[in-house]
Amino acid sequence: MAEQDVTVGQLLLAEYQNVKDEQKARIGFRDNLLYVTLAVVAAVLAAAAQAGQPSMLLALPPVCVVLGWTYLVNDEKISAIGRYVREELGPRLARLADATGGFEAFGWETAHRSDARRGTRKVIQCVIDLTAFCAVPFAALVVFWASGDGGGLLVALSVLEALTVVGLAVQLVLYALPL
């Protein structure tokens, strides 16, 4: 074997580094989506209040649904990367490193999931996600409906928006449930 040849172990470690880099980038992007959502909500609420136009609140549901869906997709990919490392990459590397079968690669990938408070954190995170991406835009719809400020077309649009918000809420809950 030539000195520049790459071993399977080196390839697996390089793959691990690449997927962890992707996971880290997705975590940063996902977490920033909550801040972006808060900023958009504040801006729309301020503009609607200043203009005295409750119909401007109809901008919140589509924006929150798009940001919420993007958040959810990134969160799912983050989890998928962790699952891949735990179930595929780690065991393959462990088999290469230890013929006796007692070695576990990337132990942190499993250890941090055994925290007794993990379930509580996941429930709280789901409530935060539902609040930011679903409850806030739904509250905006309720304010719009209560204002009586819309014609038939705007009311129909608001009902469609309500259905998309409910759809996102269902998806957030489904993805939060354990596999």
Q: Map out the domains of the chain as residue ranges.
A: 8-176
Place of tokens 């509250």: 139
Distance, CA of 11 to CA of 82 (rounded, Å) = 18
Q: What is the percent of the chain with per-residue pLDDT over 90, rounded to a whole number?
A: 73
Task: Read off the pLDDT of residues 33-89 as tens digits, 9 standing for 90 and up.
Answer: 999 999 999 999 999 999 999 999 999 999 999 999 999 999 999 999 999 999 999
Closest CA to 133 of 47, 76, 60: 60
pTM here?
0.88
Alpha carbon distances (Å) from 90 to 11, 14, 33, 149, 152:
12, 12, 30, 58, 57
Q: Exposed, middle or buried by CB within 10 Å (0-12, 13-18, 19+), for 58?
A: buried
pLDDT of residue 2: 56
Distance, CA of 85 to CA of 62 (rounded, Å) = 35
pLDDT of residue 100: 59
Longest dimension (CA), the chain: 78
The answer to whether residues 30 and 68 touch, using CB atoms and an 8 Å cutoff, is: no
Distance, CA of 35 to CA of 179 (rounded, Å) = 28
- HSE-up (13 A, CA, CB side) for residue 60: 29
pLDDT of residue 3: 61
